Amino acid sequence: MGIKGLTKEIKKFAPSAIKIMSYEELADISKHKVYGVDVSTYLYPTQYNVAHKGKGNHVREFMEMIITWVSHGMRLIFVFDGNTNSEAKRDTVNERVDKRIKGQANVQRLIHEIMEAEQASDLLPETTGISIINTDLNKLGHTILSGSKGSAEQRIELEYALRSHIIVSGDKFNDLLTFFQLIGATYMQAQGEADFLLSSLYKNGYIDGVISEDMDMLTHGVDRLVRGLNDPSLRRISHLTVYCLTSILDEAKISHSQFIDFCILCGCDYCPKIAGVAGATGLRLLRKHSNINNIVSCIRDGTVKYQPINGVSLDDYLFEYERAFRIFSREQESLPEFKLTNYAMADGIKEWLLSETNYTLHTLESKLKILETRSWPEPTLKPKSPCVKITPKLKTQSAPKDKIKDKIKIKITPK
C-alpha cells in the first residue's frame, strides 16, 4: 500500500527532488546500470480488463519492460513478494481481506442490477456465492462497460468497483517465473515483503535504484525510486519519474530518521495514525519536537492536542510506532545467492511465447533479437550473505507445448 499521500506532500515541500527523466538520462547517472523491480506493483495492473488487453498481457508487459531497459543499456533484477502476512501487518491484512470480500459483493450486486434492468439476466453465470466473481463476473463486468449497458451512473460505479478489486491468480505468477527462466532474466523471491530484499540489494551496492509504484521504498532508505512506468503520458515520450531521497531530506531540512517518522505520521501498514497529524502538520511537529517520541510526550502533558485514532492508547501507539520505525530503518533481508548474467534465450522460448501470448512471429523475433545482441561484462561484486536459493519445481507441459518440458513452479504468496 505504501505511504498515504506521500507523493502529494513531497511535491509541496521538496518539488525539485522529483525529476522527469528520459531512459538515456537515467542510464547516464547510473553506476551499475542495474535496477531492482517490485514485481507485484506491475503485475496487478495487467489484470484489469484482461479480455481487452489480449492474450498473455501480463507476460507481454514484462517483456516490453525488459526490452525497453535493455535498449538503453540497463538490466533488471525482478523481486517477488514472499509471505506478506507478518504480525506487524495483521490489522492491515485483516482490513484488506474485509475490503476484498465487500468489493466482491459490490461488483456482483452492480452486475446483477444492470443485467436485470437490461433484461439479460440469462447471461449471468450461475452462482450461489461470491467466489465466482474473480473469473466470470469480472469478465462480464468489462463486457457490460464495453457494451454501454446500464445507466451512465451505474457504469461509472461498476468501473470504479472493478478497478478497486483486482486479484492475481497463482498461475500468473508462475507464468512470469517461466518467462524469466526462459529469457535468462535475474529474479528472486523475498522471504517477506519484496521491499526488504530490494532495499538490501540497493544498500549492498548491487542496484542503482528500485522500480516500484510504492513510495515506501524511500522510507526503507533507497535513494533513487523510479516510478511512472504505467503512466500513458510518460510512456508516449519514453520518460520516467525519478525520486531522490537525498534531495527530499535536503529540501525538507530533516534527517532520514525524521523522514521515517514523517511517513509513519502520514500513514503506513505497520502503525495506526495520530488523528489530524499528517502532511504539513506532521512536518511542523517533527521540526519542532524532533521525533514522534517527543510528540507523544507533548500529547501526554497536553501541549499537543492530537490523539491516536480509534481510541488507541498512547502506550499501544508507542509500541506500534517503535516496531514500525525498526522495520523501516533497520530490518533488511539476507541476500540470496544469485548471479547477474546476460539475457540468454532458452530452447523453446519462441514457441512458448507464441503459445502463451498474442505476439506475432515477426514481432517476437525482432524483440528477441534485441536481447540476443546485448551483452554486459560480469559484475565484480559478490553476495555478502548467501541464503537459500529459489528452487523451481519442474512441470512437463502437454502438446502442443511439448518442446518446452520445464515450467517453473514455486510457491508465491500474492498480496
Say yes or no to pLDDT of 246 above 90. Answer: yes
In this structure, are residues 79 and 211 in contact, taking their beta carbons and an 8 Å threshold? Answer: no
Beta carbons within 10 angstroms of residue 338's beta carbon: 16
More confident residue, 387 or 286: 286
Confidence of residue 89 (pLDDT cuts 50, 70, 90): low
Q: Whole-angstrom Cα distance, residue 29 to residue 260?
A: 26
Whole-number pLDDT of residue 385: 38
Span 121-143, average pLDDT: 52
Which tens digit of pLDDT belongs to each residue from 341-367? Answer: 788 889 999 999 999 999 999 999 999
Q: 34-38 and 239-244: which strand pairing?
A: unpaired
Say yes or no to pLDDT of 242 above 70. Answer: yes
Which tens digit of pLDDT belongs to each residue from 145-192? Answer: 666 777 777 767 766 666 665 666 678 889 999 999 999 999 999 988
Span 319-336, average pLDDT: 87
Confidence of residue 340 (pLDDT cuts 50, 70, 90): confident
Nine-digit cell string for 92:
492491515
Cα 226–chain centre separation: 12
More confident residue, 394 or 283: 283
Give the lowest-confidence range in 96-105, 155-164, 230-239, 317-326: 96-105
Whole-number pLDDT of residue 396: 34
Categorise residue 375: left if φ over 0, alpha if ψ from -120 to 50, beta otherwise: beta
Whole-number pLDDT of residue 127: 45
Percent of the chain with pLDDT over 70: 72
Whole-number pLDDT of residue 334: 82
Give the lowest-confidence range in 93-102, 382-391, 400-409: 382-391
Amino acid at 231: D
Which tens digit of pLDDT belongs to each residue from 302-316? Answer: 999 999 998 899 999
More confident residue, 364 or 101: 364
CA distances for 165 relative to 108, 141, 158, 162, 256, angstroms: 11, 12, 11, 5, 34
More confident residue, 195 or 392: 195
**Arithmetic mean of pLDDT over the chain:** 81
Beta carbons within 10 angstroms of residue 23's beta carbon: 16
Whole-number pLDDT of residue 344: 87
CA distances for 115 relative to 123, 145, 282, angstroms: 8, 12, 48
Say yes or no to pLDDT of 215 above 70. Answer: yes
Say yes or no to pLDDT of 132 above 50. Answer: no
Span 272-284, average pLDDT: 93
Nearest to 206 by CA among 67, 336, 66: 336
Say yes or no to pLDDT of 284 above 80. Answer: yes
Count of residues for the chain? 415
Is the pTM higher than 0.85? The answer reads: no
Q: Whole-angstrom Cα distance, residue 194 to residue 350?
A: 30
Domains of the chain: 17-252+332-415 (3.40.50.1010), 253-329 (1.10.150.20)
- Please compute Rg for the chain using Cα positions: 23
Q: Whole-angstrom Cα distance, residue 187 to residue 78?
A: 4
Whole-number pLDDT of residue 120: 53
Whole-number pLDDT of residue 119: 62
How many degrees, rounded to 5, is the angle at CA 162 between CA 269 and CA 9?
A: 40
